[in-house]
Amino acid sequence: MGTRMRAGPWAQAVQRAWHGQKLRDLLVVSGIAAVIVYAIGDLVSGLLYDGYSFRDQAISELSAYGSPVRPLAVTWIALHNLLGIAFAVGIWRSAEGNRALRWTAGLSLANGVVTAPLHPFFPMSSRGMEPGFNDTMHLVVTMVFGLLVFAAVATSAVALRGWFRLYAIASLAVIMTFGGLTGPLMSGLANNLPTPWLGAFERVNAYVTFAWMVVLALVLLRRNAGRRRSAHAGMAK
């Protein structure tokens, strides 16, 4: 019976590196998957919530105590969060000595860890319900989330030059603008007052951030592919 030839040390090293690169790219693609999960979950939950207004109601009202779609919302938000953490690891593995990009990865990871208990354990209360400790914690964690997102986008602008830097700066400007518009409306939500355009402003903020995640993922995938081509060309010489 014939025996299978074992690969030499060089071939084994190349194989290990290939599998490592595939895992790294898969982690980066998790960022795109996280955005898709969030967008579908947001749309489906809002449509199933009778009377819900995408324009005037906050995203957090989907997962709030008293929400008829809370179990569904908590599920897709948790999946989105896990994929976001995987994306943060992918950013770190793609940094390869780029300190600012590692800061982006660390801030994104911290964001995922900090916000993990937000919707399961500290959801906001639905309109008309008596606010409690959960509402206070929801507000605090949401503020920390906003700061971490802002810092992650800012460090990515430092890490990557050219058109991406301009794109990240423009994203920061939109995030700041619509964050400022959202803030005053949140007090109205706490006092059970009408909140015109709250949902629209909040979604602009959220989806600008998600667009940044997708663009960053595509840039990293392209950079990683370029490094592989350069490494293969170097070995071929």
CB 180 within 8 A of CB 204: no
CA-nearest of 158, 164, 173 to 216 is 164
pLDDT of residue 235: 53
Neighbours of 114 (CB within 10 A): 14
Neighbours of 88 (CB within 10 A): 24
Give the residue ranges of the chain where pLDDT is below 70. Answer: 1-19, 229-237
Chain-centre distance for alpha carbon 44: 19
CA-nearest of 48, 50, 109 to 81 is 109
- State the alpha helices, DSSP H only, in 96-129: 99-115, 118-121
Mean pLDDT of the chain: 90
The string of pLDDT tens digits covering residues 65-110 is: 999 999 999 999 999 999 999 999 999 999 988 999 999 999 999 9
CB 62 within 8 A of CB 69: yes
**Cα separation of 214 and 236, whole Å?**
33
CB 140 within 8 A of CB 121: no
pLDDT of residue 8: 57
CB 123 within 8 A of CB 71: no
pTM: 0.89
CB 100 within 8 A of CB 155: yes
**Cα separation of 127 and 67, whole Å?**
10
